[in-house]
Amino acid sequence: MAEFLQLLINGLAVGCIYGLVALGFVLIYKAGEVVNFAQGELVMLGAFAAFTFVVQFGLNYWVGLVLAMAAMAVFGGLLDMVVVRRIVGQPQFSTVMLTIGIGVVMRSGAAMVWGPETRSLPTPFDATTFHFGGVVLSAVYLAILATTVLLGLLLFCFFRFTRMGVAMQAASQNQLAAYCMGIPVKRVLSGVWALSAVVATIAGVMLAPISLVDTNLGAVGLKAFAAAVIGGFGSVPGAVLGGILLGLIDLFSGVYLPQGFKDTAGYIVLLAVLVVCPQGLFGAVGRKKV
C-alpha cells in the first residue's frame, strides 16, 4: 500500500506537468486553430530563462521566476506577431511545419547560448521531505500539485471575469464574429501565445528539479501532446486531466508491467481512446448543417 501511494503521488505530480504543457497546446489551438509543435521547446526556454536569472545572475528564486515568466510572455507574443501571423489562412500543414521548424531553431539556439551541458535549477523545496508511514512526500512534488491547482483557479478566473479572458474565448469561438464585434483579434491571439509561453515556463521550472535543465527538456512536449489528445484537444480541463492520466500510466506501468512498457503504455492508451472516443475523453463533437 505504501508503494502504491508513493507511485500515486509521484504520478500525479508528473501528470500535472504534462497537463500544464498540454494546456499550452490547447490554448493556442482554441484561439487560432494552430497546433504548436514547439510547445515543448517553450518549456525548455522557460527553464533556461529561470536558470539564467536565478543561477547565473544570482537573483532570488521567486524574483527570477517572475522575470522568466515576463521574458517568455514577451517572447511568445513576438513569436506570434513576427512569425506565426504571416501564415494565417494557409493550409494546416504549413503551420505544422512552421512550428516544427521553430522548435528546431529554439533548440539549436539554446544549445549555442547555454551549451549542451545539463544544468540544475535549485528551488526552495529541494531539501524538504515529509514522512507519513512508509510514504515519503517530497516538497517538490507537493509544490507541483499546489501550483497546478492554483494556476487552474487563476486561469478559470481570468477567462471568466476579465475582459481579455472573455475576448480570448470569443476569438476561439469565431474570429470573424469577434472582429466584427470590435475585439482586436490579432492582439488577443498574441496574448494567447504570451499566456501559453508563461504556462510553459511554469511547467519548465517545475520539471527542472525532476529531470534537470538541458536542450532535451522539450521532449516533454510529445507526452503533453498525447495528453491533450486524450483529454480532447479543445478542452482546457481535459488537457490537465489527460496529463494526470498519462503521468499515472507512466509511473504505474514502469513498476507493475514488464520492462519496456513504461515508454509505450501511454501511447497504447492514446490509441485505445481514439478508437473508442475519437474526440477525446472530454472533447466536444462538432456538427455542421449544410
10 Å Cβ neighbour count for 19? Answer: 31
Name the pTM for this structure.
0.89
Calpha distance 93→18 (Å, rounded)? 25
Q: What pLDDT sits at residue 183?
A: 82
Q: What pLDDT sits at residue 64?
A: 94
Q: What pLDDT sits at residue 284?
A: 62
Query: Does residue 17 form part of some domain?
Result: yes
**How many structural domains comprise the chain?**
1
Q: What pLDDT sits at residue 77?
A: 92
Query: Does residue 66 form part of some domain?
Result: yes
Query: Does residue 96 form part of some domain?
Result: yes
Calpha distance 120→77 (Å, rounded)? 28
Query: Does residue 178 form part of some domain?
Result: yes
State pLDDT tens for residues 11-28. 888 899 999 999 888 888
Q: What pLDDT sits at residue 113?
A: 92
Which phi and psi (to 5°) does residue 116 adopt?
-85, 0
Query: Does residue 18 form part of some domain?
Result: yes
Note down the domain range covering 43.
2-215
Q: What pLDDT sits at residue 285?
A: 58
287 three-state secondary structure: coil
Alpha-carbon Rg for the chain in angstroms: 19
Q: Which residues of the chain have pLDDT under 50?
A: 288-290
Q: What pLDDT sits at residue 212?
A: 84
277 three-state secondary structure: coil
Retrieve residue 119's grid coordinates. 544544468
Q: What pLDDT sits at residue 288?
A: 45
Query: Does residue 126 form part of some domain?
Result: yes
Calpha distance 242→220 (Å, rounded)? 14
Q: Considering the chain, what is the average pLDDT of its residues?
A: 86
Query: Does residue 193 form part of some domain?
Result: yes
Q: What pLDDT sits at residue 53?
A: 95
27 to each of 198, 209, 247, 272, how far by Cα in Å? Answer: 12, 26, 21, 25
Which phi and psi (to 5°) does residue 132 adopt?
-130, 100
Query: Does residue 224 form part of some domain?
Result: no
Q: What pLDDT sits at residue 279?
A: 81
Q: What pLDDT sits at residue 101?
A: 92
Q: What pLDDT sits at residue 283?
A: 66
Q: What pLDDT sits at residue 264?
A: 84
